Chains A and B, each alone.
Chain A
Amino acid sequence: MIKIENISKNLGEFFLKNVTLDIGTGEYFMILGPTGAGKTILLEAIAGIYNPDSGKILMDGRDITNIPPRRRNISMVYQDYMLFPHLTVEKNIAFGLKLKKIPIEEIKEKIEDISRMLNIRHLFHRFPGTLSGGEKQRVAIARAVVTEPNALLLDEPLSALDTKTREDLRHELKKIHSVTGITIIHVTHSFEEVFSLGDSVAVMSEGMIVQVGRPDDVFRRPNCEFVANFVGVENLFKGNSTINNGISDIDIDGAVVVSAICKSGDCTVSIRPEDILISRNKIESSARNSFNGKIVAVIDKGATIKIVVDCGIPISAIITRRSLDDMGLREGMSAYLTFKASDVHLM
């Protein structure tokens, strides 16, 4: 679909260095990296805002490197929405369709459909200034998707939203992707987003692509220290969940973790290491999750100590140095991990 061949661009503060990527048709492709890694320029280069200093961009085999943005049919959504403040929600969404000289009846139909899908039909006559962050981003997504672009570029679309809205929009994005089958390139600095949305991920640092692969591959087998540190999210697992008596049993490679969040089917599980209790003997408590395993690593993190216990799956717990000394934990020892079902997060 979109092939980026060895492009470089120097904008002074931000730059791209020999970026090569191959994004398949209908793929949900994530680009992950810290602030200043060059993610936004990469998106803007794909959109055609900047011409690269060198290298080529191909779309469906056609060289589009020097084609202006309006002939690429690639839409963009920014973190800060960028709705046209002088136009109503309806006119914002219709903007791209009007430029394409589509008959007015057809425009109406299309914006009606997309607005129903994103649940923004009731906002049509409002101006952007009166909308909440979540509403604005839905409108921005609708405006981008309604033109049926060859690819949809999302520049940290969820970063400015509160947790609840972010969660909702993440589902919407997933829905849009599965309903329309559109190719999506989504820039983020959150590994959770990568895990819950992406088919593939490219990790960027200082204008370069440092690793490309499936999210769990990149997560489990980072190819360099930068990726290891950057994606360093502990206790993130893919599993399959079944709901049982109002709680979810999630099977992760044979180990069953219980979560208070009800969700069935394939899912991503995350448990914060500081929510896990570690003990040398089994403890009786109301916590639904208790695992026994062998300590495989004791890692000094300065103020705290990270202990990795192999319970069939590697689970990390964070304890204080004082606890480590008091309990005398060492690599190779047996230990129990206990955590509450309500501390198990499901995506």
Chain B
Amino acid sequence: MTKKEPFFWITISCGFVIMAFILLPLIEMITAPSLSMLRETIRDKDVLRSIWLSIYTAGLAALISFVFGTPLAYLLARTDFAGKRLVESIIDLPIVIPHPVVGIAILSIAGRNYWLGQIFSELGIRIMGSVTGIVIVLTFVGMPFYINAVKEGFEGISPRLEKVSRSLGASMFSTFCRITFPLAWRSMLVGIIMCSARAISEFGAVVIVAYHPMIAPVMIYERFEAYGLKYSQPVAVWLVSICLVLFLILRVLTSPRKKET
């Protein structure tokens, strides 16, 4: 056997360091709470309510991204226009803005001093401290992940497939439903998972817009502040495990059947 050069050992050891860096805190957090502690936590109505709130607001954010983001992603994948780069950068903005700034920005248009805020308050829609507010914030931070994933998916489908379909008698809408969608839905699913995963993890922006009703990350923070590490860990474990299981189920349900290969 040839002797490996030092560089090989450097790459391997860096790999181990990074694995440990990611896994140690997570494993420690997951294994810290005792089983009885975990059992007790999940029986707590407040905990259940906040985890459920986290999941369904994130799901709503993904749904909104799906409805409004899909056509835009298609437009960006299929056409070139002046200012396309600008539009793409704007879509990426929520990724780079610090999270509390997102919260402040959303509050500033929801206030009574702003026309949109006035319209909302006349319609009886409350943003500050409401589920609506949470969904808006989560959509804001999650949408870019959805659009980028789906845009990439559309770009991977040859426009010529659509041209052939149209020449065979399909309208643009029918072509989208019969050809583009069946070929792109897997990337839409990836987009939905990315978007909702990002949304579930949001804390900084939500805490500014809506401390109550309490989503899981806010509750974890609150318990940490009030009672310390020991009381916040079990909630965190439950949030992480439930999300993992949900995403896993989504993946399995939609995994490709063997026939197409």
Identify the A interface with B (CB < 8 A).
Answer: 44, 47-49, 68-70, 72-76, 78, 80, 82, 84-86, 95-96, 99-100, 127, 129, 143-144, 147, 153
**B168:A49 contact, CB within 8 angstroms:** no
- Measured in the bound complex, the distance between the Cα atoms of B169 and A72 in whole Å is 8
**A69:B260 contact, CB within 8 angstroms:** no
Question: Can you identify 20 A-B contacts, CB atoms within 8 angstroms?
Answer: A48-B166, A49-B167, A69-B163, A69-B166, A70-B166, A70-B167, A70-B168, A70-B170, A72-B167, A74-B167, A75-B168, A80-B158, A82-B160, A82-B161, A84-B165, A96-B168, A99-B168, A99-B174, A144-B167, A153-B167
- Measured in the bound complex, the distance between the Cα atoms of B164 and A143 in whole Å is 10
**A70:B164 contact, CB within 8 angstroms:** no
B98 at the interface (CB under 8 A from A): no
- Measured in the bound complex, the distance between the Cα atoms of B169 and A158 in whole Å is 24
B259 at the interface (CB under 8 A from A): yes
**B169:A96 contact, CB within 8 angstroms:** yes
**B158:A82 contact, CB within 8 angstroms:** yes
**A147:B168 contact, CB within 8 angstroms:** yes
- Measured in the bound complex, the distance between the Cα atoms of B167 and A73 in whole Å is 7
**A49:B163 contact, CB within 8 angstroms:** yes
Interface size (B, Cβ < 8 Å)? 20
**A73:B261 contact, CB within 8 angstroms:** no
**Known contacts A85-B260, A86-B182; is-contact A44 B163 (Cβ 8 Å):** yes
Shortest distance from the beta carbon of B115 to any chain A beta carbon, whole Å = 40
Q: Which residues of B contact A147 (CB under 8 A)?
A: 168-169
**A84:B174 contact, CB within 8 angstroms:** no
B183 at the interface (CB under 8 A from A): yes
- Measured in the bound complex, the distance between the Cα atoms of B181 and A86 in whole Å is 11
Q: Which residues of A contact B163 (CB under 8 A)?
A: 44, 47, 49, 69, 76, 82
Nearest opposing residue in chain B for A49, CB measure: B163
B179 at the interface (CB under 8 A from A): yes
Interface members, chain B 69-109 (any A CB < 8 Å)? none
Identify the B interface with A (CB < 8 A).
Answer: 158, 160-161, 163-171, 174, 178-179, 182-183, 259-261
- Measured in the bound complex, the distance between the Cα atoms of B168 and A48 in whole Å is 11
The listed residue (B160, B169, B182, B183) touching A70 by CB distance below 8 A is: B169
The listed residue (A70, A74, A78, A127) touching B259 by CB distance below 8 A is: A127
**A95:B260 contact, CB within 8 angstroms:** no
- Measured in the bound complex, the distance between the Cα atoms of B183 and A230 in whole Å is 40
**A84:B179 contact, CB within 8 angstroms:** yes
Q: Which residues of B contact A69 (CB under 8 A)?
A: 163, 166-167
The listed residue (B161, B167, B174, B179) touching A75 by CB distance below 8 A is: B167
Most chain B CB within a 10 A radius of its CB, from A44, A74, A86, A129 = A86
Nearest opposing residue in chain A for B261, CB measure: A129
**A78:B164 contact, CB within 8 angstroms:** yes
Nearest opposing residue in chain B for A88, CB measure: B259
**Known contacts A78-B160, A85-B260; is-contact A68 B166 (Cβ 8 Å):** yes
Q: Which residues of B contact A86 (CB under 8 A)?
A: 182-183, 260
Shortest distance from the beta carbon of B215 to any chain A beta carbon, whole Å = 38
- Measured in the bound complex, the distance between the Cα atoms of B231 and A304 in whole Å is 88
- Measured in the bound complex, the distance between the Cα atoms of B178 and A85 in whole Å is 12
Nearest opposing residue in chain B for A130, CB measure: B261
- Measured in the bound complex, the distance between the Cα atoms of B182 and A70 in whole Å is 20
**B260:A127 contact, CB within 8 angstroms:** yes
Further 12 A-B residue pairs, CB within 8 A, beyond A74-B167, A153-B167: A47-B163, A47-B166, A49-B166, A49-B167, A75-B167, A80-B158, A82-B160, A86-B260, A95-B168, A127-B260, A143-B164, A147-B169
Q: Which residues of B contact A48 (CB under 8 A)?
A: 166-167
Q: Which residues of A contact B167 (CB under 8 A)?
A: 47-49, 69-70, 72, 74-76, 144, 153
Q: Which residues of A contact B178 (CB under 8 A)?
A: 95
Q: Which residues of B contact A144 (CB under 8 A)?
A: 167-168
Shortest distance from the beta carbon of A77 to any chain B beta carbon, whole Å = 8
- Measured in the bound complex, the distance between the Cα atoms of B167 and A75 in whole Å is 5
Q: Which residues of B contact A80 (CB under 8 A)?
A: 158, 160
Q: Which residues of A contact B169 (CB under 8 A)?
A: 70, 73, 96, 99-100, 147
Q: Which residues of B contact A85 (CB under 8 A)?
A: 183, 260
Q: Which residues of B contact A99 (CB under 8 A)?
A: 168-170, 174
The listed residue (A72, A73, A76, A100) touching B164 by CB distance below 8 A is: A76
